[in-house]
């Protein structure tokens, strides 16, 4: 849940949870774990407790008041032993990076679990076909709204770190904790190519085996640029890899965890798990492909020029047999009738990427990396103005929103029956 961590009434608060099945009702106290930054008013909080088997209803009680909240059961099977949780996408348009990631993950035995807030319609339809083919699972990431408000409040969307990204990653962890062997928490533009073994599973097992006492891995993210094909017919994984150029810039990394290691997570790692159980992997690094270049050699995202990063030859290992296999897999998918019919509608130029990057730069990156004035506030770009277009519409996540009864110190607001909407637009 997202909760106001600056409210004095939250000090020393515990969560009383009532679980009920057909015959029994049990009240327990949930221990809480916050994963976020102190700069933001709201933080991601996960409560953990045991309750009855065959759960039918779940309630939270506070000061004599109760509210029934929806719940979902954890998964007990996973499509593959390695699940890659992709942070929430909004105004998503970079289908080329998606193709690079989804086919690489498939080759190395990974399955993408992708959270979507908003996405260009044709790109969404492309993802849906990949979901039908078993490459990924799509999930909703909803904007926080209050159905009914009886007191003043701070808008959580404007006062939480990066759209509650830690909440999405914790949700993904809890979905697959009983089913997968490893869970990775990556952005769409973070792509891992295993260096020493043919699959992620073998590579991760080997890393932990050579680092006794560890149960999760930390991979740095090295900045790369690449030449981006404007159309699907021109997209070639071989050419993309040939165009990859590496920098010396390695940014704060992301983690891959054995599922018994974490109960919740922040964006980069859990703040409640010891670094002593972490294996720091220096090679390979995540290929961070945040810098697309057009085929004419220019970068239309000119706001990216704010970062002075130099690039040289690729210094990551991408094996020739893997490149060939991924290219063949892409060729097979490109020739599906459904993909051939939607291909002409895919965006052929950046529109939202430079807008969003400029917002992120103003909100955080400028101060963090380029010593721009302003200091560090809450990493949040909810202020970003996103123009709407007639020729490219978005699919947006939506749901039925509910507010529980007024309770002290916490009133609970929640959703159910999520769905994809064509009526909201290209927004966060």
DSSP output for 314-360: --S---HHHHHHHHHHHHHHHTSHHHHHHGGGS--S-SHHHHHHHHH
Give the helix/strand (H/E) hosting 207.
helix 200-209
* pTM for this prediction: 0.95
**Closest Cα partner for 287 from 311, 310, 315, 265?**
315
Q: Cβ contacts of residue 165 below 8 Å, gap of 6+? A: 87, 88, 267
- Domain assignment of residue 259, yes or no: yes
Q: Measuring CA to CA, how many Å separate 24 from each of 54, 66, 249, 313, 380?
A: 10, 17, 57, 64, 44
Contact indicator for 197, 114 with CB cutoff of 8 Å: no
* Residue 406, token pair as written in the block: 């007024």
Q: Cβ contacts of residue 221 below 8 Å, gap of 6+? A: 190, 250, 251, 252, 253, 254, 285, 286, 288
Please give the Cα distance from 269 to 256 (Å, whole number): 9
- Domain assignment of residue 209, yes or no: yes
- Domain assignment of residue 26, yes or no: no
> Angle of helix 320-334 relative to helix 95-107, nearest 10 degrees?
120
| Pairing status of strand 413-421 against strand 311-312 | unpaired
Residue 305: what pLDDT? Answer: 66
Please give the Cα distance from 92 to 393 (Å, whole number): 11
Per DSSP, the three-state class of 297 is coil
Please give the Cα distance from 85 to 426 (Å, whole number): 23
Residue 172: what pLDDT? Answer: 98
- Looking at the 3D structure of the chain, how many domains does it have? 1
Side-chain half-sphere CA neighbours of 26 within 13 A: 14
Contact indicator for 131, 333 with CB cutoff of 8 Å: no
| Pairing status of strand 110-116 against strand 82-89 | parallel
Query: Hey, which bits of 161-244 come out as E strands?
Result: 182-186, 190-191, 216-227
Reading the chain (428 residues) residue by residue, the pLDDT tens digits are: 999 988 867 767 788 999 999 999 999 999 888 998 889 999 999 999 999 999 999 999 988 899 999 999 999 999 999 999 999 999 999 999 999 999 999 999 999 999 999 999 999 999 999 999 999 999 999 999 999 888 888 999 999 999 999 999 999 999 999 999 999 999 999 999 999 999 999 999 999 999 999 999 999 999 999 999 999 999 999 999 999 999 999 999 999 999 999 999 999 999 999 999 999 999 999 999 987 888 876 666 665 666 678 999 999 999 999 999 999 999 999 999 999 999 999 999 999 999 998 898 888 877 777 667 666 789 999 999 999 999 999 999 999 999 999 988 889 999 999 999 999 999 99
Q: Cβ contacts of residue 261 below 8 Å, gap of 6+? A: 215, 216, 273, 277
- Domain assignment of residue 71, yes or no: no
Residue 292: what pLDDT? Answer: 87
Q: Cβ contacts of residue 348 below 8 Å, gap of 6+? A: 230, 231
Q: Which domain holds residue 239?
A: 82-421
Contact indicator for 20, 55 with CB cutoff of 8 Å: yes
- Domain assignment of residue 68, yes or no: no
Cα angle: 136, vertex 137, 140; to 5 degrees: 140
Q: How many CB atoms lie within 10 A of CB 24?
A: 12
- Domain assignment of residue 61, yes or no: no
Please give the Cα distance from 202 to 150 (Å, whole number): 54
- Domain assignment of residue 4, yes or no: no
- Domain assignment of residue 428, yes or no: no
């Amino acid at each position: 849940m997202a909760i106001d961590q600056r409210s004095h009434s939250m000090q020393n608060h515990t969560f009383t949870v009532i679980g009920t099945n057909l015959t029994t009702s049990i009240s327990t106290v949930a221990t809480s774990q916050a994963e976020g930054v102190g700069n933001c008013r709201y933080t991601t909080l996960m409560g953990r407790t045991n309750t009855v088997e065959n759960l039918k209803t779940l309630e939270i009680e506070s000061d004599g008041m109760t509210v029934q909240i929806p719940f979902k059961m954890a998964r007990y099977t996973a499509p593959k032993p390695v699940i890659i949780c992709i942070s929430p996408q909004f105004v998503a348009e970079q289908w080329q990076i998606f193709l690079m990631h989804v086919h690489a993950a498939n080759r190395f035995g990974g399955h993408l679990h992708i959270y979507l807030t908003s996405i260009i319609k044709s790109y969404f339809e492309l993802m849906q076909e990949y979901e039908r083919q078993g490459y990924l699972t799509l999930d909703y990431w909803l904007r926080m709204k209050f159905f009914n408000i009886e007191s003043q409040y701070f808008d959580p969307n404007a006062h939480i770190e990066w759209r509650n990204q830690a909440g999405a990653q914790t949700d993904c962890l809890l979905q697959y904790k009983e089913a997968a062997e490893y869970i990775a928490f990556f952005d769409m533009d973070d792509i891992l190519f295993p260096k020493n073994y043919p699959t992620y599973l073998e590579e991760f097992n080997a890393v932990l085996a050579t680092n006794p006492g560890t149960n999760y891995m930390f991979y740095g993210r090295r900045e790369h640029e690449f030449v981006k094909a404007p159309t699907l017919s021109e997209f070639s994984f071989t050419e993309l890899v040939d165009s990859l150029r590496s920098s010396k810039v390695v940014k704060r990394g992301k983690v891959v965890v054995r599922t018994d290691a974490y109960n919740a997570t922040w964006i980069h790692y859990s703040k409640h798990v010891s670094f002593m159980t972490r294996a720091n992997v220096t090679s390979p690094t995540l290929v961070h492909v945040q810098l697309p270049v057009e085929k004419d050699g220019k970068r239309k995202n000119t706001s990216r020029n704010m970062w002075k990063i130099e690039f040289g030859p690729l210094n990551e290992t991408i094996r020739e047999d893997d490149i060939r296999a991924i290219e063949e897999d892409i060729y097979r998918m490109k020739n599906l009738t459904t993909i051939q019919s939607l291909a002409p509608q895919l965006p052929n130029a950046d529109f939202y990427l430079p807008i969003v990057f400029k917002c992120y730069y103003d909100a955080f990156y400028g101060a963090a990396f380029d010593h721009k004035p302003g200091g560090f506030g809450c990493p949040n770009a909810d202020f970003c103005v996103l123009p709407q277009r007639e020729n490219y519409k978005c699919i947006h996540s939506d749901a039925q929103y509910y507010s529980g009864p007024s309770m002290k110190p916490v009133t609970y607001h929640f959703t159910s029956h999520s769905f994809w909407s064509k009526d909201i637009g290209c927004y966060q």
